[in-house]
Every structure is written in structure tokens, then in C-alpha cells.
Amino acid sequence: MNVGLQALAVALGGGLAIGTAVVLLFVVHGRVFGVSGLANGILDGLSARRRDDLDWRVATLIGLVLGALVWTLVIQGSPAPRSGFPGWALVVGGLLVGAGTRLGSGCTSGHGVCGVARLSPRSIAATATFMATGIITVYLLRHALAVLP
């Protein structure tokens, strides 16, 4: 590990900001801030032609993208993004993330932050599970098989 103290402090600050957004979405909108749930809500709403919750869901995700973009461009001064990562891994990873979060009803935000914060047994179990399979996967792909950087 060679991450500077300042980067660690900023990471903690980033977490505090994420927590603040989670609380605000709950207090102001009454909803859990789960990104996969928001995306699936949009996907399902569009395919069923239901428009009732489309507006705030789309706005939340647009805000997420804009907030990340502004921080990266303005505060960090646009560091070089990852390049040369194999396309097949992005496609396979995307398929598994999409299917897994649909079946498991949540991702890092909905289960990992909102659910664990509420001490939901389902979310604690889900978070322990995806952390474990994530760690095993990186070990296998990066070290045992050495097929990915």
C-alpha cells in the first residue's frame, strides 16, 4: 500500500458526502439510495411505459454522473483514466454486475451503505458475499491466472 495521508483523508470525506446524499434522499424523497435499484426502476418503468417515478430517478443518476465529472475535472484536474483494459472483461463484468444486482436486489450503495447502515440482515449477508467473491475473483484473475492487470 502506498496511498498518501491526504488521499486517505479525502476518501473519508468522500464517504461522508455519500452518506449525506443517502440521508438526504431518504429524508427529502423517502427513498433508499441504491444505484442498481434506481437504474432498474428506470429500465422497468420504460419497458412498462410507467412514468410515475421516472423523473426523480433519472435526475438522481444524472446528478451522480455530473457530480463525479465536476469533481474529476475541476478538483482533481482530470487524471488519466484507465486505458488498455480488455474489452471482454468490461462486457463480462457488466453482464454479471447487472444480473447479480438484479437477482440480489442491490449493490454497493443499496446493500453496502444503506442496508448495512440500517443493520438489515439481508444487506449484511449480501455485502459480505459480494466482498468475498470480489476478493476471490481479483485474486484468481490477477495472481493465480494472471489474465487481467
Partner 1 sequence: MIRSSTALGIGSVFGAGLAAGGMTDPRIVLGFLDVTGAWDPRLLLVMSGALLVSALGFRLTRRRGHSFLGGQLQLPTLHQLDPRLIGGAALFGVGWGVAGYCPGPGLAALAINPLEALLFVPAMLAGSWLAKRLAPG
Grid cell for residue 61 = 443518476
User: Do the Cβ atoms of 18 and 113 come closer than 8 Å?
Assistant: yes
- The most distant pair of C-alpha atoms in the chain lies apart, rounded to whole Å, by 50
Minimum Å gap between C-beta 146 and partner 1 is: 11
Minimum Å gap between C-beta 19 and partner 1 is: 3
From 51, 81, 145, 146, residue interacting with partner 1 (rule: CB under 8 A): 81
With CB under 8 A as the rule, give the number of residues binding partner 1: 110
Half-sphere exposure (Cβ direction) of 57: Cα atoms closer than 13 Å = 19
Q: Does residue 60 bind partner 1 (CB under 8 A)?
A: yes
Residues 95-124 that bind partner 1 (CB under 8 A): 95-105, 107-109, 111-118, 120-122
